[in-house]
């Protein structure tokens, strides 16, 4: 029985490790009459290994970073060209056409809005390709590697603490340079290395099931550590006085993921935010919202480049297709068409914010306080609409949406994320 279990464990580890190690490539790509190219996709290192070969036997090898992995396409980062200071190039490994598409750009625009103008496009077809990569499995394997890194860090901490003597006596205030377990009055349990009566490295288990492993100061996360909330959300990175502060990665159970800088438990600074449906935002954040210069990538690969204020697109930006060619910003056009729908109508805008916060689970399941607050918002919306349209006596709802206005990631250790809700919309007085 032990041999069977060992076989399955070895098989699982080998299979998981080999998933990203599988070789995907575009080989014998005809770049010119004098040169061919091989492009090996290395998902483990997130790079494309390039080997350029000339007819006279010379070769050049280098690596380029992968910017985006799509179902049928691998996109490189923009690479500075030797042709000029503001010249860049980027290439696309296209599975459908079995070709390498190289684009050349000129960098233009101001510092706060960089624009890459397309100068040329060249397509080179390849004789030998292997492209049956699985985007979902690649993402899952990447997540497993992150979990493995966290596990190794925890094991390293255990080894370090195994060399420390156990704390003596029942008074934690007298513990120093030893390892022990302490149950605080609030019900939180601290296990780890103590110096001068305070834990400096170890594990905290909070009421409700949340768990933190890492560095401490004043019995709060401080330094480097990993926090797992009871609902499955995770954060690994820097902490300051009990809040995520500095560089880190946050993963939500619904599939959202953010890597970048934090300030007082909120997204703040430069970072990358991945949405569960595949969209992505790269740029600046302030107080938990997209704010400043940023690039938003949609599911079809098109991008919006511009400024964001409090999470919303602000002013006139630029939109590009997957090949970097400037296209009309469809989202802006859609917003304009919505405004056009209301032209000539006697409309009123309504915006109401709920007074109380609600737990995210109650919001998602529409139960308990979550249901009560949302029902009240709907009632308040109708009441406000009646007041605004009292002169005409009736109204017609053109748009009505409940939205999340703010969230508190750590209202208290062991408790789940809370949301601030609001309702907004437009009514026509008739």
How large is the average pLDDT for residues 256-267?
Answer: 93
Q: How confident is the model at residue 143 (pLDDT cuts 50, 70, 90)?
A: low
Query: Among all chains, which residue has been given the structure tokens 């030797």?
Result: 82
Are the CB atoms for 64 and 50 separated by under 8 Å?
Answer: yes
Q: How confident is the model at residue 332 (pLDDT cuts 50, 70, 90)?
A: very low
Task: State residue 181's pLDDT score.
Answer: 94
Task: State residue 310's pLDDT score.
Answer: 76
- CA–CA dist 310, 173 (Å, integer): 46
- CA–CA dist 83, 379 (Å, integer): 64
How large is the average pLDDT for residues 230-259?
Answer: 92
Query: Among all chains, which residue has been given the structure tokens 């939180």?
Result: 188
Task: Report the number of secondary-structure helices (H) and strands (E) in the chain.
Answer: 5, 27
Among 345-349, 364-368, 415-419, which is the least confidently predicted range?
Answer: 415-419
Q: ∠268-271-274 over CA atoms, to 5°?
A: 115
Task: State residue 415's pLDDT score.
Answer: 56
Task: State residue 61's pLDDT score.
Answer: 94
Q: ∠192-250-422 over CA atoms, to 5°?
A: 120
Is the pLDDT assigned to residue 340 strictly greater than 50?
A: no
- CA–CA dist 86, 117 (Å, integer): 10
The neighbour count for residue 325, using CB atoms within 10 Å, is: 13
**CA quadruple 66, 70, 74, 75: dihedral, nearest 10:** -60
| Alpha helices, H only, 65-134 | none
pTM summary value: 0.55
Task: State residue 359's pLDDT score.
Answer: 83
For the chain, what are the domain ranges?
A: 17-133, 136-278, 342-429
- Higher-confidence residue of 34 and 424: namely 34
Percent of the chain with pLDDT over 70: 83
Residue 386 phi, psi dihedral angles, 5° rounding:
-65, -40
Q: Is 399 exposed, middle or buried (0-12, 13-18, 19+ CB in 10 A)?
A: middle
Task: State residue 129's pLDDT score.
Answer: 94
Q: How confident is the model at residue 10 (pLDDT cuts 50, 70, 90)?
A: very low
Average pLDDT, the chain: 82
Is the pLDDT assigned to residue 263 strictly greater than 70?
A: yes
- CA–CA dist 49, 52 (Å, integer): 10
Query: Among all chains, which residue has been given the structure tokens 């990665």?
Result: 249
Residues 73-96 have pLDDT tens digits of 898 988 999 888 889 999 999 998
Is the pLDDT assigned to residue 324 strictly greater than 70?
A: no
Is the pLDDT assigned to residue 272 strictly greater than 50?
A: yes
Residue 60 region, left (φ>0) first, then alpha (ψ -120 to 50), else beta?
beta
Is the pLDDT assigned to residue 201 strictly greater than 90?
A: yes
């Amino acid at each position: 029985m032990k041999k069977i279990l060992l076989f399955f464990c070895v098989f699982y580890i080998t299979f998981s490790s080999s998933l990203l190690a599988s070789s995907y490539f575009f080989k014998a790509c005809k770049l010119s009459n004098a040169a061919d190219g091989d492009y090996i996709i290395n998902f483990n290192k997130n790079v494309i290994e390039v080997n350029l070969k000339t007819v006279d036997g010379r070769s050049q090898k280098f690596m380029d970073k992968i910017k985006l992995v799509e179902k049928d396409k691998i996109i490189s980062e923009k690479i500075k060209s030797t042709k000029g200071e503001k010249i860049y190039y980027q290439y696309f490994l296209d599975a459908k056409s079995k070709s390498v598409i190289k684009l050349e750009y000129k960098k233009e625009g101001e510092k706060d809005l960089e624009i890459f103008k397309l100068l040329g496009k060249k397509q080179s077809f390849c004789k030998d390709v292997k492209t049956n990569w699985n985007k979902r499995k690649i993402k899952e394997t990447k997540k497993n590697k992150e979990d493995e890194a966290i596990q190794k860090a925890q094991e390293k901490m255990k080894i370090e603490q195994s060399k420390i003597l156990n704390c003596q006596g029942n008074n934690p205030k007298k513990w120093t340079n030893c390892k022990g377990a302490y149950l605080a009055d609030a019900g939180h349990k601290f296990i780890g290395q103590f110096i001068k009566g305070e834990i400096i490295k170890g594990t905290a288990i909070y009421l409700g099931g949340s768990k933190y492993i890492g560095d401490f100061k004043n019995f709060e996360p401080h330094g480097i550590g990993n926090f797992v909330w009871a609902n499955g959300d995770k954060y690994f990175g820097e902490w300051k006085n009990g809040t995520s502060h500095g560089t880190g990665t946050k993963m939500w159970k619904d599939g959202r993921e953010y890597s970048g800088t934090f300030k007082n438990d909120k997204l703040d600074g430069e970072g990358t935010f991945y949405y569960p449906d595949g969209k992505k935002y790269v740029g600046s954040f302030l107080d938990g919202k997209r704010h400043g210069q940023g690039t938003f990538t949609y599911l079809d690969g098109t991008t919006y480049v511009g400024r964001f204020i409090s999470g919303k697109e602000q002013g006139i930006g630029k939109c590009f297709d997957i090949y970097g060619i400037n296209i009309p910003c469809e989202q802006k056009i859609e917003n304009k068409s919505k405004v056009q729908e209301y032209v000539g109508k006697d409309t009123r805008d309504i915006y109401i914010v709920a007074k109380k916060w609600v737990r995210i689970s109650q919001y998602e399941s529409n139960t308990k306080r979550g249901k009560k607050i949302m029902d009240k918002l709907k009632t308040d919306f109708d009441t406000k609409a009646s007041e605004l349209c009292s002169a005409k006596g009736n109204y017609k709802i053109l748009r009505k949406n409940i939205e999340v206005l703010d969230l508190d990631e750590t209202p208290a250790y062991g408790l789940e994320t809370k949301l601030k809700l609001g309702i907004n919309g437009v009514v026509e007085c008739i």
